Chain A
């Protein structure tokens, strides 16, 4: 059963959301899903970019005006 981890990065300054996502993903297993809540416009670009470069599956969902969820499925 794959785990689902929620990470609240609302109100964080760049590059904190990315660093937090990196650390969270390290401790997760393949197939687990990380859901990162972000309200920083830079992070909604650099977190998915980093995650895709690492080879994971990424989705971005706009939750509200200026709020996004970056959903990362750990692939390897």
Chain B
């Protein structure tokens, strides 16, 4: 009781002055959303019938990733940046969970192929480790925080209408071309000497999965403790 004409209470009970600036009437974008969905489905069908099923599959998978990323506000950049910048590790922990779940799924698929004597899928992602890995990842880490989004985050934000990430995407492409131009030099001087290490080759299939899950679990605990430490030590 006792709210005068100049103050309002929001649903959470926070008392504040009523808005003096006039609100724009909110448009309902749901019709546009439905059109967007129809577009995605239509493109998928058209691709399947013209270019081929594989391309259609990639389109659907990409759309799914984009949808999931936006719906959950998932951000790999924040997972690496926030522990330092804000003390928050909620995304770090979520990314670790993603690592764990995919470890199990990927190991199952790879092992299933292995024991059947079939070529193991996805092994092209087991790449040589060299100075180029370290320098490249370091550069990427700097870039993604400055640009306000990593590779997936940039694409997601283009879809959300961020002009800044549209610009970032263009220069990501330019940087990629430069990197490709120099790749030969990096390959000759560093990458060619770098080992490819597939953990099951070193620890066996079970050993590798267990070890990796163990490391992820320990990192999760560390992230959990870090956030608790950061929030209790901040004085407000």
How many of B's residues come within 8 Å of A, CB to CB? 34
Consensus secondary structure, chain B interface: loop
* B149 part of interface (Cβ distance < 8 Å): yes
Question: Are A33 and B86 in contact, with the CB atoms below 8 A?
Answer: no
Per-position binary interface string of chain A over residues 35-76, scored 1 when its CB falls under 8 Å from any chain B CB and 0 otherwise: 100000110011001100111011101111110000101101
Per-position binary interface string of chain A over residues 10-43, scored 1 when its CB falls under 8 Å from any chain B CB and 0 otherwise: 0001110011001001100000010100000110
Closest beta carbon of chain A to B23's beta carbon, Å:
6
Question: Known contacts A50-B86, A59-B10: does B148 contact A14 (CB below 8 Å)?
Answer: yes
Which residues of B sit under 8 angstroms from A22, Cβ to Cβ? 86
Among candidates A25, A55, A59, residue contacting B12 with C-beta atoms closer than 8 Å? A59
Which residues of B sit under 8 angstroms from A74, Cβ to Cβ? 236
Question: Are A71 and B14 in contact, with the CB atoms below 8 A?
Answer: yes
Question: Are A14 and B77 in contact, with the CB atoms below 8 A?
Answer: yes
Question: Are B236 and A14 in contact, with the CB atoms below 8 A?
Answer: no
* B13 part of interface (Cβ distance < 8 Å): yes
* B75 part of interface (Cβ distance < 8 Å): yes
How many of A's residues come within 8 Å of B, CB to CB? 34
* B118 part of interface (Cβ distance < 8 Å): no
Q: How far is the CA of A44 from the CA of B13 in the complex (A)?
A: 19
Question: Are B85 and A61 in contact, with the CB atoms below 8 A?
Answer: no
Which residues of B sit under 8 angstroms from A65, Cβ to Cβ? 26-27, 29
Which residues of B sit under 8 angstroms from A26, Cβ to Cβ? 236
Question: Are B14 and A73 in contact, with the CB atoms below 8 A?
Answer: yes
Q: How far is the CA of A54 from the CA of B85 in the complex (A)?
A: 15
Closest beta carbon of chain A to B142's beta carbon, Å:
15
- Other than A22-B86, A42-B73, A65-B26, give 9 A-B pairs with Cβ distance below 8 A: A2-B15, A13-B147, A15-B85, A19-B85, A26-B236, A33-B16, A49-B88, A63-B23, A71-B12
